Structure 1
């Protein structure tokens, strides 16, 4: 009797292994052979789910965006203070640091390749909508105002800047410093530390 394989689960497993390899070793080191070895399967299994390395790489980039958004939404749904919600994105723990390493590996592609640029734009628009909603809920105001658009863009730039700096200078950008800078921006936007 043939073994029943959950194709969706197997594909997700291949992506998860490839994601970790990119986070640990970068894009250039990623090969189907390395993924297969880490997964304990043949390269034909990997190529069954992805036609080529570029298709797999694009999926990894999408997964990095999805993971960050899902973590942030979950934190917000748990009604954590807004400052603590952003721990889901800022590089304060190993999962978020890995996500940042994957993002950094792909940002040059977002600058040069239309598909990556479009995914970057989509993720940014998604983030802005989420940030507007989170800020409006914290401030008890309408998310659709021009002021909330500006506030969400300020928050997006602040979170991205803090995360980027923390990746390059982790000893300087401690969790406490990340929180202090983000708390300052949130305060300027009218969000208190308890919100």
Structure 2
């Protein structure tokens, strides 16, 4: 969860805390049950509060989902941007980011849920496009090439998705093969 919000006067911002609580509940619901499971009633039930409390802090379900995705992407960005900035090899960046996405992080599950939803929902598509553009920009900075960043992002997403749908999928072996392929590309393409 994010830092505890404090007003300028030093008092706890209870409204911001409650919004964070709603967002974390929604992230958990999306990660474990999918976007379709998110209703105001379900959020209130999980939080053991009323629907009115949830509606007081968010005007509608779309705003709640957007806040949950933004929160998940912020956590993903914090986790991955440091890795990307510290490495300059496309293969090693891929290894680190896919390894991170293959963990039990809820931000990856939230991203996947929105990715699936983006096939038929304009709101989800817009959010995923924005997230992917931002990540490609960071990758391009680290790798020195926008095309390599786009291919690397696609590869990372594919390998990480394979891990999600097939528990027997050997992430380490697949990433090693990807690193080998991308390392050859670096030698030839630069």
**TM-score band, normalised by shorter chain:** 0.7 to 0.9
Tell me which residue corresponds to 1:166.
163
Would the alpha carbon gap of residues 39 and 185 (structure 1) be closer, same or farther in structure 2, given more than 3 Å must change?
farther
Segment of structure 1 superposing worse, 53-62 or 125-134: 53-62
The answer on 1:190 being equivalent to 2:186 is yes
Tell me which residue corresponds to 1:75.
83
Distance 1:170 1:181 in 2: 18
| Structure 2 residue runs without a partner (length 5+) | 1-10
Would the alpha carbon gap of residues 184 and 9 (structure 1) be closer, same or farther in structure 2, given more than 3 Å must change?
farther
What SS class does the counterpart of residue 111 from structure 1 fall into? coil
Provide the TM-score with structure 1 as the length reference. Answer: 0.75
Distance 1:118 1:154 in 2: 20
Would the alpha carbon gap of residues 13 and 178 (structure 1) be closer, same or farther in structure 2, given more than 3 Å must change?
farther
Alignment RMSD: 2.6
| Structure 1 residue runs without a partner (length 5+) | 137-147
Corresponding residue pairs, total:
174
Would the alpha carbon gap of residues 66 and 188 (structure 1) be closer, same or farther in structure 2, given more than 3 Å must change?
farther
Would the alpha carbon gap of residues 5 and 45 (structure 1) be closer, same or farther in structure 2, given more than 3 Å must change?
farther
Instruction: Compute the displacement of 1:69 (Å).
Output: 1.7
